[in-house]
Chains A and B, each alone.
Chain A
Amino acid sequence: MNFDRDPASDTFRAEVQAFVRDALPADLAQRTLRGYHALKADMVAWTRILHSRGWSAPHWPVEHGGPGWTPLQRFIFEEECALAGAPPTCTSALSLVAPVIYTYGNAAQKQQHLPPILRGDTFWGQGFSEPNAGSDLASLKTRAVRDGSDYIVNGQKTWTTEGHFADWLFCLVRTDAQAKPQRGISFLLVDARTPGITIRPIISIDGAHSLNEVFFDNVRVPQANRIGDEGQGWSFGKLLLDNERAFSAEVPRNKRMLARLKAVARTQGLLGDPVFGTRIAEVEVDLAALEWLTLRALSEHGSAAAAAWPAGSVLHVLGSELQQKTGALLVEALGERGVVDYPELHETAAPPGYPPGPEHAPGVAADYLYRRAVTIYGGSNEIQRNLIARHLLGA
């Protein structure tokens, strides 16, 4: 155990801060900080800005165009971006499918897909969940049947975030109905414009369209678009979760939400309120714990110590529940304006006829409503607690 000062991290943080301060356009930051779903144009614009600095894929290996940062540097980078109000980049592409491609893909697949992802030229959507395969993902039924050098894919995927922006989909499909459920699954890259694919919006409780369902009706996918061998898809999905486990607490987002809570409470005259102030303090305490748990998971990444506790599940549970707790306080801080339905606002100023209320109100309730999802997606918190208990009890 050693907590001596780490001047290299301070220097790195200052470098990132300076870059973000200069490079992040103010209108992008304003929109992002409101909390509505990001516009595709903003996501692309920011990815390109980052790419020009070589920072669009903080976690990729250098050989594929990553900056060669340590996990701690990546964390610092993401934190500074979030606090400044940088829009998200395409997570499905950069964090989910790309590591599978550069770890298990062949040379042609890497060549075809990695450079455009890095530049922000292609957007990706994830096709894992199905209407009847959520927590029990291994029961998925979307079939891929060989036909010459292709597969014919039939079935339905759902909850595809930003699927309507997607140029490509990465899907878990069943290639062997006889094998054990996990063994019969393969990992396919599918051009989203292939005939037979229909993408329909799912409007979420915040009134917004970020989620989609994707229907496959005799969709022809070249076998060359399969990553690895048939039956390996499940293990790739697991790798992808393990890669991200130290980041599953979403500390940067939680920090941004706490900063917003303090700002809103200040303008609403609630910062000095002893009851409300104590509840903000409780969020600060939870956030401090979350941050140090994350720093620990980052520091243990890839070492034997990482196996001593179920970091991914613990971080997921705490990080998601804290987002909901902070979001609820934000809504509460707005008083009755907290329940006004403020439509998605992407302009700098509210247009005529827009609902009245404090300037910081739009987006608070929408974000709170959408964040009911965070305790459900990526393995619901009940599933995470099952995993934690299994870690402790051995079975």
Chain B
Amino acid sequence: MDFALDEEQSLLRDSVRRYVDQEARFSPRHWAQFAQMGWLGAALPEAVGGFGGSIIQTVLIAEQLGRGLLVEPFVPVAVLAAQALLAAADAEPARNALGALIDGASIVVPALGQPAGMQVSAGGACLSGQQTLVVGGPRADCFLVAAPEGGGLSLFLCAADAPGLLRHDYRLLDGTPACDLQFDAVPAQAVRRVGGQGDLDLALCHAQLARCAQAIGVMDRAIDATREHLLQRQQFGVPIASFQALRHRLADMLIAHEQARATLHGALAALVTRGAGPQATRALAIAKALCGRSGRFIGAQAIQLHGGMGISDECIVGHCFKHLLVFDSLDGNTAAQLRHLAAAL
């Protein structure tokens, strides 16, 4: 067990960090640059055109993108869709889609949330049904959809501009583009036929871990900003960093952040040593619960310690708060994770 980054891991972290430090939060250039720098395929094997890394590379990149508050759909596309396609990559359609995903030519957005709401028709060539809150959906040129078929679950790719596909775009509170999708006999290409939900589990685990890492990056940003503010802001003739009530709050923020990171380590270890299974599921529920709780706390306290300027749109900490609120709310919030864990007692 080694918690420190090795040289290669540090280089990757630093390069993503440098990038997000220089870049605006929104830019149409981001995605092509992610591809150029190899981040979209960082955790994929060389055999499919990736760069041979693992979930470790995924969390390193995700954390720094979180720190930069970037709203690009890195996790849905380069983690969830990529890992789901990887599991099907022994067949050509998935391998081709993965290749295009890695070099940035195609943004494959997963719409895997409610497979039960989808129906396969026309002998397996068309899809109907709906998917809600598809994160990153407005950026997609292609959707990865799961639908029940023959007692199992099949995976399909649909072009975003396919006939019969109706997209309703909106944004989440943190600026993340999302959409609801209505499928009306949309032509679809099967990339894996009649597998099981279990075939998606590993990809879902990777995505959950990556989202937690991203949230940890946001927390890091909020704490840094708060630290700077306490040192610079003067009231009563002294920096407010000299006030013990504020110092203790900042200490609690650091503690909450380290707790969150610890559960990420725990979930990484469970996934790496045991693979997708009950241990990893439990460790991920713990990580999601704690990262959600820590994130909400850190985001809220960052605003509080900034005083009035904390609620202005110009100030970064309000955006951190919104990112962390969105993170907690999606994919089962802290309360929902605790209920799952309680049910397993």
Contact = CB atoms under 8 A, between A and B. Distances in A.
Contact of B266 (A262, A271, A291): A291
A285 B263 CA distance: 8
Interface in B1-34: 1-6, 9
Contact of B1 (A299, A314, A318): A299
Contact of A289 (B1, B9, B263): B263
Main secondary structure of the interface of B (DSSP, over half): helix
A231 B336 CA distance: 56
A293 B260 CA distance: 10
Contacts of B227: 392-393
Interface in A297-349: 299-300, 303, 305, 309-310, 314, 317-318
Interface stretch (A1-9, A46-54, A57-65, A174-182): A1-9
B222 interface: no
B231 interface: yes
Nearest to A389: B247
Contacts of B258: 293, 309, 314
B342 A2 contact: no
A10 to B, nearest CB: 10
B326 to A, nearest CB: 21
B306 to A, nearest CB: 15
B266 A292 contact: yes
Contacts of B260: 289
Count class of interface residues, chain B: 35 or more
A278 interface: yes
Given A277-B343, A278-B342, A386-B244, A296 B263 contact: no
Nearest to B341: A281
B250 A280 contact: no
B238 interface: no
Interface in B286-345: 286, 289-290, 335, 338-339, 341-343, 345
Interface string A251-265: 000000000001001
A290 interface: yes
B268 interface: yes
Interface string B220-256: 0001000100110000000001001001101110110
B286 A6 contact: no
Interface in B155-209: none
Contacts of A262: 345
B2 A1 contact: yes
Contacts of B4: 1, 299-300, 303, 305
B272 interface: yes
B252 A296 contact: no
B255 A388 contact: yes
A284 B3 contact: no
B265 interface: yes
Contact of B265 (A292, A303, A314, A393): A292
B233 to A, nearest CB: 12
A15 interface: no
A385 to B, nearest CB: 4
A285 to B, nearest CB: 5
Given A288-B283, A292-B265, A299 B2 contact: yes
A271 B289 CA distance: 20
A300 B5 CA distance: 12
Interface string A366-395: 000000000000000010111011011100
Interface string A153-187: 00000000000000000000000000000000000
Contacts of B247: 385-386, 389, 393
10 contacts: A1-B2, A1-B3, A1-B5, A2-B1, A2-B2, A5-B273, A281-B341, A288-B262, A288-B266, A388-B254
Given A2-B56, A295-B1, A296-B262, 12 more contacts: A1-B3, A1-B268, A281-B289, A289-B260, A289-B290, A291-B266, A295-B3, A309-B258, A318-B259, A385-B252, A388-B251, A393-B231
Interface of B: 1-6, 9, 56, 60, 223, 227, 230-231, 241, 244, 247-248, 250-252, 254-255, 258-260, 262-263, 265-266, 268-269, 272-273, 283, 286, 289-290, 335, 338-339, 341-343, 345
Interface of A: 1-6, 72, 262, 265, 271-272, 274, 277-278, 280-282, 284-286, 288-293, 295-296, 299-300, 303, 305, 309-310, 314, 317-318, 382, 384-386, 388-389, 391-393
Query: Which 8 residue pairs across A and B have the least CB separation, nearest first?
Result: A277-B342, A389-B247, A292-B262, A281-B341, A388-B251, A3-B269, A385-B251, A289-B259
